[in-house]
Homo-oligomer: A and B are copies of this chain.
């Protein structure tokens, strides 16, 4: 199990984003409260847009709390769109090619959760990937393969539709192999302009997912809160776990939902896999 955050808004310093909050992602790497595992020490990654359209990636197999290069890089980098992920492996090797976020062109993708009995259904999932995309798969995780399935089904054109189809296909493959609850996921993906997040599990007991409240409303509530003053009105965070206890700051994204964040606008709709 993993933890992740997706930020969009006015350019923020990555150190402010990743290290300074009360329960920052780097802190969560040692002490997650809501994760299935309390430790996320099996590598981490960040993806950030500083010269769009292509995002930069930093992947490491060290625990995030120990990585000096992450700290240095974070102190100097500013970005208006950041994905960050800390990993707790569910079995696959701890190596850079298994670190999230994954990248394809201008797209980023990260996943918390797992595909149950992945080793059983991995081959059929692999076969379902567009042969033109297949050579780009670098690692061995369920999460990356899920990304390439979503790309196969049109992620670049219609993300909610592509993810619904990919999940439908994975569930169908799982059922064929006798897997009762194939999918457990919160996923975030972006093309550098819009962020889509999904919360879903076949079992209907999905990993936690939260989004930040409207910054203007939050500022009114906490007029002396320093960090809030520095953020633009359209700043939005989508997170697997709140970054602090600030009252009124976080709203849970409901079970089986799609969340679309575009500028200040954040819309939640229901998510269901496309039957195959």
Which chain B residue shows the least CB distance to A118? B135
How far, in angstroms, from A126 to B140 measured CA to CA in the complex? 13
Q: Which residues of B contact A56 (CB under 8 A)?
A: 72-73, 75-76
Q: Which residues of B contact A276 (CB under 8 A)?
A: none
How far, in angstroms, from A38 to B135 measured CA to CA in the complex? 28
Q: Is A59 an interface residue (CB 8 A)?
A: yes
Tell me which of A41, A42, A77 has the highest count of chain B C-beta atoms within 10 A of its own C-beta. Answer: A41
Are B60 and A63 in contact, with the CB atoms below 8 A?
no
Within 239-255 of A, Cβ neighbours of B (below 8 Å) are at none
How far, in angstroms, from A106 to B127 measured CA to CA in the complex? 29
Are A58 and B69 in contact, with the CB atoms below 8 A?
yes
How far, in angstroms, from A95 to B68 measured CA to CA in the complex? 12
How far, in angstroms, from A223 to B56 measured CA to CA in the complex? 34
For chain A, give the interface size range: 35 or more
A101 to chain B, nearest CB (A): 12
How far, in angstroms, from A126 to B125 measured CA to CA in the complex? 13
Q: Could you mark each residue 96-126 of chain A with 1 if its beta carbon is under 8 Å from any beta carbon of chain B, else 0?
A: 1100000000000000000000011011001
Assess A123 versus B96: contact at CB under 8 Å? Given A69-B59, A72-B56, A76-B51: no
How far, in angstroms, from A140 to B139 measured CA to CA in the complex? 7
How far, in angstroms, from A101 to B50 measured CA to CA in the complex? 25
Q: Is A19 an interface residue (CB 8 A)?
A: no
Q: Is A155 an interface residue (CB 8 A)?
A: no
Q: Could you mark each residue 116-149 of chain A with 1 if its beta carbon is under 8 Å from any beta carbon of chain B, else 0?
A: 0001101100110001001101111000000000
Are A68 and B76 in contact, with the CB atoms below 8 A?
no
How far, in angstroms, from A68 to B56 measured CA to CA in the complex? 11
How far, in angstroms, from A123 to B56 measured CA to CA in the complex? 28
How far, in angstroms, from A77 to B123 measured CA to CA in the complex? 36
Q: Could you mark each residue 43-63 of chain A with 1 if its beta carbon is under 8 Å from any beta carbon of chain B, else 0?
A: 000000011000011111111
Further contacts, 14 of them, CB under 8 A, given A41-B41, A62-B94, A139-B140: A30-B39, A38-B38, A39-B41, A41-B63, A42-B63, A58-B69, A59-B69, A60-B69, A63-B63, A66-B94, A95-B95, A95-B96, A97-B140, A127-B127
CB-defined A-B contacts under 8 Å, sample of 23: A38-B38, A39-B39, A41-B41, A42-B63, A50-B76, A51-B75, A56-B73, A56-B76, A57-B69, A58-B69, A58-B73, A66-B89, A73-B73, A93-B95, A93-B97, A93-B138, A97-B140, A119-B135, A122-B135, A123-B135, A126-B126, A127-B127, A140-B140
